[in-house]
Amino acid sequence: MSAELPAGVHCASCQERPPPFVSTVAPLLYEFPVDAGLKALKFRRRLQYAPAFAELLIATMPRLDADVDALLPVPLHWRRQAFRGFNQATELAKPLARHCGLPILKGVTRRRATPFQSALDAKERSKNLAQAFTVRKRVTSRHVLIVDDVVTTGATTRQLAATLIARGAEKVSVLAVARAE
């Protein structure tokens, strides 16, 4: 089932507080069996799920503006990535980058080890991510596509997009496997 609103229709929170990104595409709802697959990828190291989810993202690319010129997997804090052994967003972005011939941005990090977003409500998620990301050098890409596994409240993508724009990106869009209702 698709989680997208009709063209030109924005969710209530986006109408109230417009996000710094131009669009979000998440072709699936975060419900069974999608949630089980994403949790298995993320928390049980079932990396075999990444190529299948990446194929879905590749098929979804035509829904985005054609001027995307770089990908950015949502960064994990170095400790979380070391514990997990991988970044699920990077595992989704690598096949996408190969297929589309797009570079993956480097030098964007999560500077603070934030608690898991899933345990927080919308207001706490936003506060949790304040100044969580840093970009080491000016972004020269014009339209950056943030890649993630799931978008819940949009707090992560809002903060990351604002950081990218402050460092030189003209536009930011978001592509995720699933969206929570």
Task: Say what the pLDDT of residue 13 is.
Answer: 61
127-150 in b/e burial notation, b at 16+ Cβ within 10 A? ebbeebbebeeebebebbbbbbbb
Helices and strands of the chain, counted as H and E runs? 7, 7
In the CATH scheme, what is the code of domain 12-179?
Answer: 3.40.50
Task: Say what the pLDDT of residue 1 is.
Answer: 42
Phi, psi angles (nearest 5°) of residue 85? 95, -5
- Between CA 60 and CA 27 the distance in angstroms is 7
pLDDT digits (tens, 9 = 90+) for 75-93: 999 999 999 999 999 999 9
∠ Cα 84 119 96 (to 5°): 45
Q: Name the amino acid, one letter, at 118.
A: S
Torsion, Cα of 152, 78, 103, 125 (10° steps): 20
Task: Say what the pLDDT of residue 4 is.
Answer: 53
Those residues with Cβ within 8 angstroms of residue 107's Cβ, 6 or more apart along the chain or in another chain:
135, 136, 137
SS3 134: strand
Q: Residue 70: which region, alpha, beta or left (left: phi > 0; alpha: psi -120 to 50)?
A: beta
Spans in the chain with pLDDT lower than 50: 1-3, 6-9
Structure tokens at 74: 């949502």
Task: Say what the pLDDT of residue 117 is.
Answer: 63
CA distances from 80 to 71, 75, 86, 167 (A): 21, 10, 9, 25
Angle between helices 49-60 and 34-43 (to 10 degrees): 120
Task: Say what the pLDDT of residue 18 is.
Answer: 75
